Structure 1
């Protein structure tokens, strides 16, 4: 339905007004009728389309009916579809007649000027702003959806930032510091056509409401392309901006940046309006005669699963991990993936780079760039994400935990599945997995601020798992995903004490009971298969560990739509006490680095049978048929004894999904 405006007429003097292209004017024929009038006649110039609404019927004029009864419900509607060349160049005349008919007893004259005022954005999601018949004031999901998209401008494009050692992303200032900065923003284009004197005599205002103003920044340079002329005109405390359209230019281009991601207190939707105001007479208040509205949605932060192609591997160099870094470099080279080493000076002895940050990305039709999510953990690597990763086309976001942090706030406790379908519901970007104390009461949980943030992104509906049974408490200690050529294109790998006991029992029955673990490791007690199988306390604890993993197995099957054929159990044992939490008995093989088909797996130092580690042999037998290459990395002294493994000590930036997030329905 077209936007409609009521216009008061007068038989005492002519009325002038503006008709905006695409809108209707409703003429108050009854209110302006002189005393004694019982019928009226309407006539307009060729550029005006007229309709009389009478007894609920809308009749286009001219019609066979010349005069219309002046009933209470009588209404005249008009529209114009051609822009005026001059002010008041189209006219409508209302003639009023008394009981006797004959000569009119009064006339009301309306002078009309048709102009175009249109606020436009990339509502069709094509990557460019174009005129459209889509409803700009609504936003919808799905392949047939529409609505404009806004990026949080959370990278740092200021060319002087590196020299100034600035750690401020672009969304935390109110300035445009480079042309690259503008490319991160979405365009909002105001089209104004028609006689230019109309726009001199009327006021055009771009405005937003309080709820949106704190979430956006809008920049405008007038007709200039000079960087210095881009001024912050809207957002923050600035709720409105008066536009003065150029006499020579029909487009005014505004650049819009997002300041904050969707969160518990922000749906992600922001609204802009442009309103045309007129002042009937001097010293009177202006009244709005037309408003156009555009709604944007701020793009969510999206995590990338192991099954996406790797772009860059990160690892820390610390005092005792030279061989580990070399081994990770070798796997990265095989995967043709560059390696970035964070030096000791920057990591300050903190080797757990997986725990400090998580890589993801944001995407709009016109731009995509990676964004690092900085955990509230804040160890020795606290400055690394903001000082070394934040930069041009590399964004940064963080959430803090005012109530304090626990081990579960580290991002080894944050993973995401590959795309899945669950009982007909599609998750084309996968589902985020977070560890919690559930099903226990109390215990450690992921920080509320982090969980609220992840839920608010909507596109990767989080699943809560039980990880507080572990001493460290991270879900990457018992699960990971690897690519596969069949079924769902991936396999879920789960640590399995049951599978480990079954393997060791097989080797014992084959006569290898005296084969020992940890051979070749100096100052490490060796333990034979027979001793492991005879250790009732260890078996009892692993029965408990298996029950915890089984609880998660059932959640994962339900939440990700998996069957047993989608899951591979990797042999693994745990040790500890139920009240203090479980640790890996030997290097935790599920805690691996996944780079395409190349896997960097913690070397388990299992019993050697027939010249081969039986644990490595079993893992190869399980994974190599999927086309995966297994490289076992010695992390025993440099990571395992410190309660972490290969995955904990590495991090990977990956390619974004080919799927566009706005095509899904959350």
Structure 2
């Protein structure tokens, strides 16, 4: 339905106004009628389309009826579909008649100027701004959806800048402009008409701190681009008489969706008319365009690796070399964070999570910095934030717990659950059972993840672990069949079953941890005879089973989608569990290459029986298993291969705006 404006007329003097292309004017014929008038006649010049609405019917003029009764509810509508060449070059005349007379008792004259005022963005999501008949003031999801998209400009295109680009009000490079979305204001018609009117570009008060708008006039010089809207600037007065017919504004997002911010931002172009000097201007037309700020998106283990990260420490040269060899096999560059930058903090998985943002015109990676803030706390800003590499962080005012480290933040591959599609997977976070004193992920982090909407989080139970991270008991690996992946779960029962098999085959005296100095070497017989260890692992298995059931429901999995990886845990229920031997699900996944913590299991026929079982489970899927010794460099410090590495991965081919959350 066309935007409509009510217009008062006068029989005392002519009225002049603007008719904006694509809108209608509703003429108040009754309000301007002389007191003894009972009927009216209306006629216009050829550029004006006229309709009389009478008794709920709309009749196009001219018609066989020459006079219309001045009845309540009768109105005249007009529209114009061609721009005026001169001010007031089209006219409408309304003649009023009394009961008897053929002579009009009064006339109202209206002089019209047709102009175009249009605020446009990439509503069709094609990567370019175009005119469209779609409703620019709404935003819809799905493959047939529409609505413009905005990126949070959280990279740092100027290496000399001290902050990300979304924290300043300057355009420092042309690369900075390319991160922004274009918004085009079109004004066409006689230029002199705009000298008597004002055109305002404005943003709602509640949205102003979420966006920044820059305008460079007709110049391409960077220094001409000024910050005109956003922050404390709610309104920008455009001067169409000096502008070209198209004015291009550049819009950046300043904040991601979060509590209290849905991600939707509306911009308006409003034309104001000043009827007489000394009177306030009145709005006569508004065009609105709505943007949605693109969410931060995580990538799963099954996505192709683009870059591997690891920290260099005093005692992990062999580990770094093994990770480097794996990265080379996967044809993936390796970035080593040196000791001066990591400041004795090797847990790079816990410090950051790599994701990305995407709009039709641009995609770039964004690192999410956890609230843990230990030795690596400056690494994301100093070494990762840069041109086309963004940064976002959330703090934990209630003090960060181990559950705020990002080993406790994973995402599944794409799944379909009971007909509901999650084409970007579902985020998995660890929490506690509802009990007094249980640890939970910081509210600020969890709220942020929920607000992104496209990877609906699932809460798992991980507080039974000493460290408490979901990557200690689960992982995903690619597979050529079924859903395209397998969920790997740590399994004490699978481990006891394997050890029992080997005992029955006569290998009960085979010992763990061969070749490791100063480490006790329990035999299979001793492990199976340890009732305390078995009871503790029965409890651990019940915790993992609880998560197994949640994951099957939340991800739509069946038993054939899950592989049980033999694993034992040690510890106490009150303090929490740790891996009894290196935790094999805590692995590095680089395509079909898996870097698995070397378990140092009992040797049977010269081979580690734990390694052999894992190979038998994973190699039929086309995966290559490399067992990496992390015992002294990570395992004894309560972490493994996955905890000590991180991977930036290829974004999904699927466009997030095509989904329906």
Using the size of structure 2 for normalisation, the TM-score is 0.99
Shift of 1:160: 2.3
Please give the alpha-carbon distance, in whole angstroms, between the structure 2 residues aligned to 1:489 and 1:617.
24
CA distance in 2, matches of 1:120, 1:213: 19
Shift of residue 249, structure 1, vs aligned partner: 1.5
Give yes or no for contact 1:140–1:147 (8 Å, CA) kept in 2: yes
Instruction: Give the secondary-structure state (helix, strand or coil) at the position aligned to 2:66.
Output: coil
Where does the alignment leave 5 or more consecutive residues of structure 2 unmatched? none
The equivalent residue for 1:77 is 77
Q: After the TM superposition, which residues 229-240 of structure 1 pair with which residues of structure 2 at under 5 Å, given as runs?
A: 229-240=224-235
> Is contact 1:8–1:28 with CA below 8 Å preserved after alignment?
yes
Task: Indicate whether 1:644 and 2:642 are aligned.
Answer: no
- Quote how far apart the aligned CAs of 1:225 are: 1.0
- Corresponding position: 1:100 with 2:79: no
Check the 8 A contact 2:89/2:111 in 1, yes or no.
yes
- Confirm or deny: 8 A CA contact 1:439 1:466 kept in the other structure: no
Is residue 547 of structure 1 aligned with residue 542 of structure 2?
A: yes
Q: What SS does the aligned partner of 2:619 have?
A: helix
Q: For residues 428 and 608 of structure 1, what CA distance do their matches in structure 2 show?
A: 43
Give the C-alpha shift of residue 284 in structure 1: 1.4
Match of 2:653 among 652, 655, 658: 658
Task: Assess, with a 3 A threshold, how the Cα gap between structure 1 residues 159 and 350 changes in structure 2: closer, same or farther.
Answer: closer
1:110-161 deviation digits (Å, cap 9, x = unpaired): 0000000000000100000000000000111111111000000000011423
User: After superposition, what is the alpha-carbon deviation per residue over 1:606-635, rounded to whole angstroms, capped at 9, x for unaligned?
Assistant: 000011100000000000000000000000
Matches within 5 A, 1:423-462: 423-462=418-457
Structure 1 position 321 matched with structure 2 position 339: no
Alignment of 1:219-238 (within 5 A): 219-238=214-233
Judged with a 3 Å threshold, the aligned counterparts in structure 2 of structure 1 residues 524 and 147 are, in CA distance, closer, same or farther, namely same
User: Do the aligned partners of 2:7 and 2:27 also contact (CA within 8 Å) in 1?
Assistant: yes
> Does residue 139 of the first structure (1) align with residue 122 of the second (2)?
no
Determine if the alignment matches structure 1 residue 338 to structure 2 residue 333: yes
Question: When the two structures are superposed, what TM-score results if normalisation uses the length of structure 1?
Answer: 0.99
For residue 58 of structure 1, what is the aligned residue in structure 2? 58
- Kindly report which structure 2 residues correspond to 1:412-427, keeping only aligned pairs within 5 A, or say none: 412-427=407-422
| Separation in structure 2 between the aligned mates of residue 621 and residue 157 of structure 1, nearest angstrom | 48
Q: 1-side partners of 2:257 and 2:340: how far apart? A: 35
Secondary structure of the residue that 2:327 maps to in structure 1?
Answer: helix
Task: Tell me, yes or no, if structure 1 residue 380 matches structure 2 residue 375.
Answer: yes
Whether 1:87 aligns to 2:87 is yes
* Offset of residue 101 of structure 1: 3.0
Give the Cα separation in 1 of the matches to 2:618 and 2:199: 65
Give the deviation of 1:440 after TM superposition.
3.7
Question: Match for residue 3 of structure 2?
Answer: 3
SS at match of 1:532: helix
- Tell me the CA shift for residue 515 of structure 1: 0.4
CA distance in 1, matches of 2:535, 2:32: 93
1:526 to 521, 531, 535: 521
Shift of 1:567: 0.1
CA distance, structure 1, for counterparts of residue 302 and residue 523 of structure 2 = 37
CA distance in 1 between counterparts of 2:397 and 2:237 reads 41
Q: Distance in 2 between matches of 1:246 and 1:468?
A: 65
Per-residue Cα deviation, 1:207-237 (whole angstroms, up to 9, x for no partner): 0111110100000111111100111110011
Contact 1:315 1:649 in 2 (8 A): yes
Q: Is the 8 A contact 2:218 2:243 kept in 1?
A: no
Whether 2:504 is the aligned partner of 1:504: answer no
Following superposition, the deviation at residue 294 of structure 1 comes to 0.6
CA contact (8 A) 1:159 1:178 kept: no
> Does structure 1 residue 157 correspond to structure 2 residue 154?
no
Quote the residue 1:608 is aligned against: 603
Look up the match of 2:12.
Answer: 12
SS in 2 for 1:117: strand
* Distance in 2 of aligned mates of 1:325 and 1:368: 30
Gaps spanning 5+ residues in structure 1: where?
none
Runs of 4+ aligned structure 1 residues displaced above 6 Å come to none
Q: 1:481, 1:229 → 2: CA distance?
A: 50
- Give the alignment of 1:3-402 within 5 angstroms: 3-161=3-161, 166=162, 168-247=163-242, 249-402=244-397
> How far 1:246 moved relative to its partner?
4.7
> How many Å separate the matches in 2 of 1:15 and 1:210?
34
- Please state how far the C-alpha of 1:441 moved relative to its aligned partner: 4.0
